[in-house]
């Protein structure tokens, strides 16, 4: 007997992606029955996946199944996020520690750089939280520019900083991560923790493997970044031969906001972003 096919109803069309909700004939919950085939349409093509392939995708403690509703929610966050980012034709993404306070030197550096970039008509995009994110949004706001936050919804809710003027919130870390890594003309990294390093290595990996177009990646504060870059050179390149020498040209190290601004202008000359 052929497997049952879940009926789908189209509800939205954004960026040529048909975004659909699953309708069940016999049940109001969103868990898959054995033998179901899940079908959806993308770019005019129908794609069908056996329900068993959707099981055990995510693991947290004990294995749990991913419901149809969760899958649709993920699709919704992607389409909603991309639609939000379409508003910003020229933008810079600024990342760094959430733990940096107002009196810390790099907080002021982030504020100063974001101010200058906002004055040059860049939308300043951050994760919307405290620390370096707040500092960058503060600079953009004080410059009268577009101050943007991509926030994450947490059980203990992350505070959206007071300087964010346009925002979008996400339930899933990975959808927010994609949005932070998508569409900006420049990526700037101040000192930070694991999250900042994760974003940095993800960006240079995407550029290294030609998954996104080459864009300027700027690291600010030599005292913080130089030991890591030395390790990349001596261990990853020279000792282990794990990367190519040209891979170290993907990123650029400067010491402060003024140097970063001049470096960005130089790196983007051909794109006429400051004209």
What number of other Cβ atoms are within 10 A of residue 152's Cβ?
18
Cα–Cα distance measured from residue 211 to residue 204, given in angstroms and rounded to the nearest whole number: 10
Residue 114's domain is classified under what CATH number? 3.40.50.450
**Residues 57 and 116 both lie in one domain:** no
Same domain as 142, residue 70: no
Give yes or no: residues 139 and 188 share one domain. yes
Sign, Cα dihedral of 28, 31, 37, 38:
positive
Taking only the tens place, the pLDDT of each residue in 161-220 is 999 999 999 988 889 989 988 879 999 999 999 999 999 999 999 999 999 889 999 999
Q: How far apart are CA 108 and CA 92, in angstroms?
A: 17
Residue 133 lies in a domain: yes
Give a yes or no: residue 1 inside a domain. no
pLDDT of residue 242: 97
Given a cut of 80, whether residue 21 has pLDDT beyond it is no
Is the predicted pLDDT of residue 151 greater than 70, yes or no? yes
Tokens of 79: 């389409």
Asked if 140 and 115 count as a contact pair (C-beta separation under 8 A), the reply is yes
Name the domain boundary from 59, 83, 107: 83
Q: Tokens 């990526």 map to which residue?
A: 187
Asked which of 64, 83, 102 is the last residue of a domain, the reply is: 83
Core vs surface per residue 70-104: b (16+ CB within 10 A) or e: bbbbebbbbbbbbeebeebebbbbbbbbbebeeeb
In this structure, are 75 and 128 located in the same domain?
no
Whether residue 137 is contained in a domain is answered as yes
Residue 2: inside a domain, yes or no? no
Torsion of CA 92, 94, 177, 81, to 10 degrees: -40
What is the number of structural domains in the chain?
2
Of the candidate ranges 24-28, 129-133, 199-203, the one whose mean pLDDT is the lowest: 24-28
User: Which residue range(s) make up the domain with 17?
Assistant: 7-83
Residue 2 has pLDDT above 70, yes or no: no
Does the structure show a pLDDT above 50 at 101?
yes
For residues 79 and 100, give the distance between their C-alpha atoms in angstroms, rounded to a whole number.
32
- For residues 139 and 112, the answer to whether their CB atoms sit within 8 Å is yes
* pLDDT for 70: 85
pLDDT of residue 152: 86
What is the distance between the terminal CA atoms of the chain, rounded to a whole angstrom?
Answer: 66
Longest dimension (CA), the chain: 69
The last residue of one of the domains, among 21, 53, 83, is: 83
Residues composing the chain: 275
Q: Phi and psi dihedrals of 226, rounded to 5?
A: -60, -40
pLDDT band, very low/low/confident/very high, at 1 (cuts 50, 70, 90)? very low
User: Both 100 and 119 in a single domain?
Assistant: yes
Q: Is the pLDDT of residue 45 over 60?
A: no
């Amino acid at each position: 007997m052929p497997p049952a096919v879940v009926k789908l109803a189209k509800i939205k069309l954004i960026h040529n992606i048909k975004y659909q909700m699953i309708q069940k004939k016999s049940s109001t919950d969103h868990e898959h029955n054995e033998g179901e085939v899940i079908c959806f349409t993308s770019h005019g093509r129908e794609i069908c996946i056996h329900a068993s392939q959707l099981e055990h995708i995510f693991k947290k403690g004990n294995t749990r199944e991913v419901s149809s509703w969760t899958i649709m929610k993920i699709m919704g966050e992607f389409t909603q996020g991309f639609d939000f980012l379409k508003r910003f034709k020229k933008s810079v993404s600024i990342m760094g520690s959430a733990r940096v306070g107002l009196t810390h030197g790099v907080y002021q550096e982030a504020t100063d750089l974001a101010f200058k970039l906002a004055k040059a008509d860049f939308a300043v995009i951050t994760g919307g939280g405290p620390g370096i994110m707040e500092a960058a949004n503060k600079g953009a706001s004080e410059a009268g520019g577009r101050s943007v936050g991509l926030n994450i919804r947490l059980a203990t809710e992350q505070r959206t900083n007071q300087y964010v003027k346009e925002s979008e919130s996400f339930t899933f870390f990975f959808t927010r991560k994609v949005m932070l890594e998508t569409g900006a003309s420049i990526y700037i990294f101040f000192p930070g923790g694991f999250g900042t390093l994760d974003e940095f290595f993800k960006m240079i990996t995407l550029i290294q493997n030609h998954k996104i177009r080459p864009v300027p990646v700027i690291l600010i504060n030599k005292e913080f970044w130089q030991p890591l870059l030395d390790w990349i050179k001596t261990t990853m390149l020279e000792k282990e031969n794990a990367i190519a020498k040209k891979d170290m040209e993907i990123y650029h190290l400067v010491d402060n906001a003024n140097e970063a601004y001049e470096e960005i202008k130089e790196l983007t000359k051909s794109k006429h972003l400051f004209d």
